[in-house]
Amino acid sequence: MKTNTKEYQHYVESIACLYTIDKGCIKVLLLKHEEEPYKGYWILPSTFVSIHETCLDAITKELEEKFHFMNLDLEEISSCSTPNRMIDMPVIAIHYLGFISDLEASQHDNFPFETQWFDIHELPKIGYDHQLILDHTMNCLREKLLSSEILKKIFPSDFTLPEIQKAYESILGKKFDRRNFRKKFISLGLIEDTNDYDTSGTGRPAKLYRFKEDVSVKKLF
């Protein structure tokens, strides 16, 4: 029996949701779209997948060659096969979640296209269905943040307790009492004092902490 293969042909697209921490604020990487439709809107980094590579290989290569982000630990979190999600062609999308240190994010900002880190609470106009993708990845991030297993990815370098509290409040959408948060976090035994201070601000220098090498999975809140 002959089958009309054109009816079953789809393109596959890998999309990356990359987050970083900037002074306790959660930011996502977006680039400005220069073509219709959605010209002038902002979208997530993405690439089509060839028949000779995996979805992960395709987006890893895209982020290395165009954004110079090397050795990223990307996690596949969802997919979307909604018909007509792209106007001119049938495309199945695979979504990946990744984290960039604040230092690496600041060092890689010289791209041949307009790119910017946006606060997740101050996003511009988002093209295609990428707002839905962002909403889903943020829900995943909220669930993951309740466990300590992802913390070292989000905070790979030294941090202050106010910074980590601000990040928690930003992602979870709730406020914590400063003293209770500090007491709770220190009591978990996940972090250690670096014996150094953050002197970048104008007020009293804040202690810098880092996560211990052998961080175990614990329920946080």
Which CATH number belongs to the domain containing residue 38 in this structure? 3.90.79.10
Q: Which pLDDT does position 191 carry in this prediction?
A: 87
Structure-token match 């035994």, residue found: 189
Q: Which pLDDT does position 216 carry in this prediction?
A: 64
Same domain assignment for residues 162 and 120: no
Q: Which pLDDT does position 208 carry in this prediction?
A: 92
CATH number of 200's domain: 1.10.10.10
Q: Which pLDDT does position 108 carry in this prediction?
A: 64
Same domain assignment for residues 27 and 104: yes
On whether residue 160 sits in a domain, the answer given is yes
On whether residue 220 sits in a domain, the answer given is no
> Between 161-172 and 178-187, two packed helices, what is the crossing angle to 10 degrees?
100
Residue ending a domain, among 109, 127, 145, is 145
Q: Which pLDDT does position 155 carry in this prediction?
A: 78
Residue ending a domain, among 121, 145, 169, is 145
On whether residue 189 sits in a domain, the answer given is yes
Query: Is the peptide bond between 37 and the residue preceding it cis, with omega within 30 degrees of 0?
Result: yes
> Between 130-145 and 161-172, two packed helices, what is the crossing angle to 10 degrees?
130
On whether residue 3 sits in a domain, the answer given is no
Same domain assignment for residues 137 and 153: no
- Overall number of domains in the chain: 2
Q: Which residues constitute the domain of residue 45?
A: 10-145
Same domain assignment for residues 83 and 70: yes
SS3 148: helix
Which element (helix H / strand E) includes 61? helix 55-67
Q: Where are the strands (E) in 81-136, listed by range?
A: 91-99, 115-119
Structure-token match 């002038």, residue found: 40
Give the Cα separation of 1 and 215 in Å (integer): 58
Write the single-letter amino acid at 145: L
Q: Model's pTM, two decimal places?
A: 0.84
Which residues, given as ranges, of the chain have pLDDT below 70? Answer: 1-8, 103, 107-110, 112, 147-149, 215-221
On whether residue 216 sits in a domain, the answer given is no
